[in-house]
């Protein structure tokens, strides 16, 4: 069974005259799952784009150490980027002759795609910035969406179109083969969060933000000798640098360079819950971080992140449990999914605001559903690791693979077993 598949970019491609052979595609009961079974990460992400209305941080009567300027500054963080092919239509022909025939067709209607931004504060403020821009009759919101697209190395358009009368093809179809030409648009989908600067000069709790940025017209052509081998669009093609979520529980600590160490920088995670929370039953566990160093821990220059891993310590392995994350004080809490092999659900907590020496901040919580399953009751523990830190913070003793057995306390400060 042979199959020839190729993708033709059509930044200047035009479209089609009429196919000369009949269309013949066999049908069958086919089930496909095109979504990723495991969430993926890109080592180049997240991308943080901050807009400052002034060239310096101003004094704030409510906060002696503001992170940002109230009513002026906005921040967009992109956690996921997909390079998607959005199909608009397909032409097909089966060559039942003994020679080669062309696959070609004239478009009968116009199809367009435009830049779009949803969520965040773009509807009520200038968080996305740039206002409205237009190109060749199209319009869309520019600003941060455009800047991030350029940072990713993508050519950007406000609007693209396949217009009536354009021609797709011709593409040569060998004898005894079926050819398909699917025309559409290559688009860049970005998703993440946006924040605004609150009156006290700290970043707000993040809200969801998405952007679709058109890049170019594209035609995908496939030639095959068996209709069952026909390609089907799989949706977005994720950046090849993505890696599967791999829990770091048990991973060796990074090597320390004494020349760069700053012992004054240190964060220590702590978990709190109610005294009466029984193992395996529903309840809430709070994730807190204390600055145990002697200097203000700056979160403005590099992402300060913690990986929170919820593992199974008792009960059936490879069985997931409902856990709903919450977030506080401008922190972001992302659910990275469940790793069945290690029976671990992974969360990533990112600080937005700096922490003064001696202060402890509530970053988020995990609301555990009842662990009673058909396979048996689940009992979990939690391991916390700081995976993003300020330059000079090499104090791994209290923030690398620390287990809930040693860092869990009641809301009143009593030590608890750390099993949930």
- So what's the pLDDT on residue 126? 37
Query: Which are the contacts of 31, defined by CB distance < 8 A and separation ≥ 6?
Result: none
Q: SS3 of 378, please? A: coil
Q: Which residues of 176-191 are buried (b: 16+ CB within 10 A; e: fewer)?
A: ebbbbbbbbbbbbbbb
Domains along the chain with CATH numbers: 3-243 (no CATH), 258-410 (2.60.40)
How deeply is 364 buried, as exposed, middle or buried, from its count of CB atoms within 10 A (0-12, 13-18, 19+)? Answer: buried
- So what's the pLDDT on residue 67? 92
Chain position carrying tokens 């009143």:
412
Query: Which are the contacts of 278, defined by CB distance < 8 A and separation ≥ 6?
Result: none
CA gyration radius, the chain? 27
- So what's the pLDDT on residue 349? 93
pLDDT in 10s for each residue of the chain, 420 residues = 444 433 444 333 333 332 333 333 333 333 333 333 334 456 677 888 887 888 899 988 899 889 999 988 888 888 888 888 888 888 888 888 899 999 898 888 888 888 777 764 433 333 444 444 433 333 334 567 777 777 777 777 778 888 988 888 888 999 988 888 888 888 888 888 888 899 999 999 888 888 888 888 888 888 887 766 655 444 444 433 333 344 456 667 777 777 778 889 999 999 999 888 889 999 999 999 999 999 999 988 888 999 999 999 999 999 999 999 999 999 999 998 899 999 999 999 999 999 999 999 999 999 999 999 999 999 999 999 998 888 889 888 899 999 999 999 998 899 999 999
* Nearest-angstrom CA–CA distance, 212 and 303: 25
Query: Which are the contacts of 167, defined by CB distance < 8 A and separation ≥ 6?
Result: 14, 15, 16, 17, 104, 105, 106, 107
* Nearest-angstrom CA–CA distance, 231 and 228: 9
The H or E element spanning position 305 is: strand 305-314
- So what's the pLDDT on residue 227? 62
* Nearest-angstrom CA–CA distance, 195 and 180: 45
């Amino acid at each position: 069974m042979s199959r020839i598949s190729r993708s033709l970019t059509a930044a200047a491609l035009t479209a089609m005259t009429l196919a000369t052979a009949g269309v013949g595609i066999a049908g069958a009961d086919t089930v496909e799952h095109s979504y990723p079974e495991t969430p993926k990460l890109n080592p180049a992400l997240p991308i943080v784009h901050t807009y400052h209305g002034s060239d310096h941080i101003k004094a704030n009567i409510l906060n002696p150490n503001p992170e940002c300027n109230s009513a002026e500054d906005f921040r967009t963080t992109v956690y996921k980027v997909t390079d998607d092919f959005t199909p608009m239509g397909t032409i097909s022909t089966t060559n039942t002759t003994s020679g080669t025939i062309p696959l070609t067709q004239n478009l009968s209607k116009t199809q367009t795609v435009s830049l779009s931004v949803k969520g965040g504060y773009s509807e009520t403020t200038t968080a996305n910035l740039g206002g409205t821009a237009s190109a060749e009759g199209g319009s869309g919101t520019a600003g941060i969406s455009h800047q991030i697209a350029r940072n990713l190395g993508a050519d950007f358009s406000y609007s693209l179109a396949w217009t009536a009368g354009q021609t797709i093809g011709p593409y040569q179809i060998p004898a005894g083969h079926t050819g398909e030409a699917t025309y559409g648009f290559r688009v860049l989908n970005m998703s993440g969060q946006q924040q605004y600067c609150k009156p006290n000069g700290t970043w707000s709790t993040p809200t969801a933000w998405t952007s679709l940025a058109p890049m170019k017209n594209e035609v995908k052509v496939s030639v095959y000798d068996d209709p069952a081998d026909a390609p089907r669009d799989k949706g977005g093609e994720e950046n090849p640098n993505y890696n599967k979520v791999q829990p770091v529980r048990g991973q060796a600590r990074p090597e320390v360079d004494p020349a760069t160490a700053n012992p004054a920088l240190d964060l220590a995670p702590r978990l709190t819950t109610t005294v009466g929370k029984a193992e395996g039953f529903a309840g809430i566990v709070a994730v807190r971080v204390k600055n145990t160093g002697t200097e203000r821990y700056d979160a403005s220059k590099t992402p300060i992140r913690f990986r929170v891993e919820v593992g199974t310590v008792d009960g059936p392995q490879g069985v997931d449990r409902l856990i709903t994350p919450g977030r506080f004080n401008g922190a972001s809490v992302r659910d990275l999914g469940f790793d069945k092999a290690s029976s671990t659900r992974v969360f990533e907590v990112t600080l937005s605001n700096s922490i003064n020496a001696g202060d402890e901040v509530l970053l988020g919580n995990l609301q555990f559903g009842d662990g009673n399953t058909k396979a048996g009751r689940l009992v979990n523990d939690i391991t916390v690791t700081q995976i993003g830190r300020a330059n000079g913070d090499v104090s791994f003793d209290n923030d690398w693979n620390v287990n809930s057995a040693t860092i869990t306390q009641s809301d009143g400060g009593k030590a608890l077993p750390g099993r949930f």
